[in-house]
Copies of this chain bind each other. A is one copy, B any other.
Amino acid sequence: MRMESKLINMGKQQNFKVGELMPGLSVDNVIFGFHDNQLKVLLLECMNHRDWMLPGGFVLKSESTDAAAERVLYDRTGLNNVYLQQFHVFGDPSRSRDSLMSSAMKSMELPFETDNWFKQRFVTIGYYALVEFEKVVPVPDSISASCAWHDTDKLPRLIFDHKDIIANALTSMRHHLNYQPIGYNLLPKEFTMKNLQSIYETILNRKLDRSNFTRKMLAAGILDKKEKLFAGGAHKAPYLYSFKKKEYLKVLKDGFNNEF
């Protein structure tokens, strides 16, 4: 086997030899952003058909799975040091049996060994990331036609089990909400209470009472109320808030809603 000498494209940054990669193991990132009071997810458009996929990649033999996910995130967004959370492993052998993907791979005319690499069964580790929308410059990888944000409630057709992976990421976040605050990584420095509430409503998939939400958030003691008002909107101008980083991290660590 001379497989080790073949190169696999791992994004625009680097190519790696097959022999340097963990065989059959990948990471897939569900990258969430927030814009227009809508939760968005970053997707790649496959080169040869109209389907989309999650930004993903392989794991180097020398790196941790977390590092692999960070690398993928960096390659697609240019961002470092963001909230990145492993949430589930997708290990069904049939998960990558996708006729569309296979035909796409075929039309790419990959060299034999690389083709075989892609065709093997993969176990993938799902990570979700929360990133600041404005800071992201989406970068497609070499096998993708484009890289773009999509509303989480209006997803395009996705390859493999990627739709399930996104749904699972949302459910995991919903559970994490019960013992962690959220928003620090999703929102810009200053934001309105409505922005924050919209994030919670999207993740929880239900409306929250405005008044009660404000009270609860302020009670958590992680917000700074600015004197400045939000400009540009129609109607009454809302206050701007920012997170108190120290307190936010403390609540993140010690628990938010400590149940039981």
Q: How many copies does the complex hold?
A: 2
Q: Is A221 an interface position by the 8 A CB rule?
A: no
Over the window 166-198 of chain A, the binary record of Cβ atoms lying under 8 Å from chain B Cβ atoms (1 yes, 0 no) is 000000000101110000000000000000000
**Nearest chain B residue, comparing its CB with the CB of A88:** B86
Which residues of chain B have C-beta atoms less than 8 A from A208's C-beta?
Answer: 260
Find out whether the CB atom of A260 lies under 8 angstroms from the CB atom of B204: yes
Which residues of chain B have C-beta atoms less than 8 A from A23's C-beta?
Answer: 22-24
Which residues of chain B have C-beta atoms less than 8 A from A64's C-beta?
Answer: 91-93
Q: Is A39 an interface position by the 8 A CB rule?
A: no
Stretch at the interface among A29-37, A55-63, A99-107: A55-63
Partner of A123, one of B59, B175, B200, B204: B59
Q: Is A225 an interface position by the 8 A CB rule?
A: no
Q: Is A66 an interface position by the 8 A CB rule?
A: yes
Which residues of chain B have C-beta atoms less than 8 A from A125's C-beta?
Answer: 89, 91
Which residues of chain B have C-beta atoms less than 8 A from A179's C-beta?
Answer: 175, 178
Which residues of chain B have C-beta atoms less than 8 A from A63's C-beta?
Answer: 93
Q: A41-74: which have CB < 8 Å to B?
A: 59, 61-66
Partner of A65, one of B22, B62, B89, B260: B89
A125 shortest CB reach to chain B, Å: 5
Find out whether the CB atom of A91 lies under 8 angstroms from the CB atom of B62: no
Bound together, the chains give a CA A92 to CA B24 distance in angstroms of 17
Bound together, the chains give a CA A22 to CA B243 distance in angstroms of 45
Q: Is A121 an interface position by the 8 A CB rule?
A: yes
Q: Is A251 an interface position by the 8 A CB rule?
A: no
Q: A217-260: which have CB < 8 Å to B?
A: 257, 259-260
A18 shortest CB reach to chain B, Å: 12
Find out whether the CB atom of A25 lies under 8 angstroms from the CB atom of B123: yes
The listed residue with most B CB atoms (<10 A of its CB), out of A1, A24, A208, is: A24
Find out whether the CB atom of B93 lies under 8 angstroms from the CB atom of A66: no
Find out whether the CB atom of B66 lies under 8 angstroms from the CB atom of A22: no
Chain A residues with a Cβ under 8 A of chain B: 1, 22-25, 59, 61-66, 86, 88-89, 91-93, 121, 123, 125, 175, 177-179, 200, 204, 208, 257, 259-260
- Could you pull out 5 A-B pairs where Cβ atoms are within 8 angstroms? A23-B23, A24-B61, A66-B91, A175-B179, A257-B259
A-B pairs, 3 with minimum CB distance = A65-B91, A178-B259, A64-B92
